[in-house]
Amino acid sequence: MRKWYLAATPLLGVALAIAGCGGGSSGGGGGNLCSGTLQIVTEFAVSGTDAGAQLPAQYGVDLAVQQNSDLGHGCKISVKHDNYEGTSGVDASIGASNATADVSDPTIIAMVGTFNSGVAKVVIPIATRAHLVMISPANTNPGLTLQQYAQANGIDFATLHPAGFPEAYYRLPGNDVVQGKVDAQIAAAAPINAKSAYVIDDDSTYGIGLANYFTTTFQGNGGTIAGRQSITATQASSFPSLAATINSKHPDAVFMGGVTSGGLGLLKKALVAAGFNGPVVGGDGIAQDPSWFTAAGSAAVNSYGSVMAPDTSQFTSGPSAKFLSDYKAAFPGKDITPYSAMAFDSAMIEIQAIKNVIASGKTPTRELVRAAVQGIHYTGVTGAISFDANGDNAGNRVYSIYAVTSSSPTTWAFQSTGNV
């Protein structure tokens, strides 16, 4: 079990003193309020297996910063990219090291990230103690913001949200309680119509939680759980045996909580090889992930999944259509995913918060920007966004449903959308 809380946050005494730029607290009038360039840091896994899902989110932040590099009054903004991909996939300890370095850099004024809830667990207390606002475009674990779900998700809520420090963590998507309900509805509804399901998780904070919430809703709606198993990618040699066991239970569907790189794509391949051709349902750790097809190959067919974000095919007018056009122009040939838009809005909220501080005649500091984010009402690509006292989005929380079918065997094809 990785020890996720780091005591090495040496900036307790100086967190409030660190300014994003300049030295004064008020510039007044039309003078310069900054003496250097501010930075927004991205905290994603952007190499290896996870790059397919998370690089497009990084591009979304890049676009927001490119379009707002000059904030006025002598203040400019640039972007720094952190990567927490390790030799075996997502590595929370790398995320913690990145965050510890970031809070010691006085030019870093805000963070977009993390993508993974398990990494958020280690980064949130570091950022909070330094008053560094962070907005996640993808975290869905409910225990990150809601104390009643913390213990069940292996989270020490008091450590995650240290006393005496204002909340610095915010997120845009709906949480896993909501996503688990959506996934259970996908499994029970046409065309799957499952009455029984075998449940798999990838032994991650995200995967276990999502599997739990799926199970609760599926059983509550009259479904039967045929079995439950945790896996990791390092256990791939045992997947044929597990797949044979699952097939022998004859479930109507298999639910997979977690991410492709956690072994889920490889298990889907093993299931088909073992004779199980029924549907697999998952959350946003697999849906819309291009690496699902690399891992599962032709066995990717008959996969369904939810993403707690809007589908870009629906971006046909207004700010969303402009974002889609701008993104394609800025990053020709690069993939775009729902999290590209979520990350763009996350960065734009932080940029707008910085602009609001500047408009008040004050030099942007971490605490001023954090407070401005807390009180913001922003309408962007993904809709109207504001934050409640816990840091959750009190505005639009959109979800989309996707499927890999025989008619689209190498694509996550959009099926429908909803709002919670």
Mean pLDDT, range 355-374, rounded to an integer: 98
Region class of 199: left (phi > 0), else alpha (psi between -120 and 50), else beta? beta
Residue with tokens 């032709």: 298
Enumerate the H helices of 223-359 as residue ranges. 239-249, 264-273, 291-296, 318-330, 338-359
Task: Tell whether 249 is covered by a domain.
Answer: yes
Task: Tell whether 15 is covered by a domain.
Answer: no
Do both 263 and 406 map to the same domain? yes
- What's the pLDDT tens digit per position in 110-141? 999 999 999 999 999 999 999 999 999 999 88
Measure the CA–CA gap between 380 and 68, rounded to whole angstroms: 15
Do both 409 and 377 map to the same domain? no
* Contact of 368 with 356, CB cutoff 8 Å: no
Do both 290 and 335 map to the same domain? no
Measure the CA–CA gap between 396 and 379, rounded to whole angstroms: 10
Number of folded domains in the chain?
2
Do both 284 and 137 map to the same domain? no
Do both 168 and 180 map to the same domain? no
- Residue 298 corresponds to which tokens in the numbers above? 């032709």
Do both 344 and 411 map to the same domain? no
Nearest to 346 by CA among 118, 52, 17, 79: 79
pLDDT at 357: 98
Do both 183 and 260 map to the same domain? yes
pLDDT at 169: 98
pLDDT at 202: 96
Provide, rounded to the nearest whole percent, the portion of the chain with pLDDT above 70: 93
CATH number for position 160: 3.40.50.2300
- What's the pLDDT tens digit per position in 41-94? 999 999 998 999 899 999 999 999 999 999 999 999 999 999 999 998 999 999
Task: Tell whether 164 is covered by a domain.
Answer: yes
Do both 91 and 63 map to the same domain? yes
Do both 72 and 151 map to the same domain? yes
Nearest to 169 by CA among 114, 247, 105: 114
Q: What three-state secondary structure class fits 223?
A: coil
* Contact of 157 with 147, CB cutoff 8 Å: yes
Provide, rounded to the nearest whole percent, the portion of the chain with pLDDT above 90: 84
Compute the mean pLDDT over every residue in the chain, rounded to the nearest whole number: 91
Do both 356 and 223 map to the same domain? no
User: In this model, does residue 38 exceed pLDDT 60?
Assistant: yes
Whole-model pTM: value is 0.80
Do both 297 and 341 map to the same domain? no
Task: Tell whether 299 is covered by a domain.
Answer: yes
Task: Tell whether 19 is covered by a domain.
Answer: no
Domain around 211: 176-307+399-419
Task: Tell whether 290 is covered by a domain.
Answer: yes
Task: Tell whether 261 is covered by a domain.
Answer: yes
User: In this model, does residue 192 exceed pLDDT 60?
Assistant: yes
Do both 275 and 415 map to the same domain? yes
Task: Tell whether 145 is covered by a domain.
Answer: yes
How would residue 152 be classed by pLDDT, with cut points 50, 70 and 90? confident
- What's the pLDDT tens digit per position in 314-349? 999 999 999 999 999 999 999 998 899 999 999 999
Enumerate the H helices of 285-379 as residue ranges. 291-296, 318-330, 338-359, 366-374
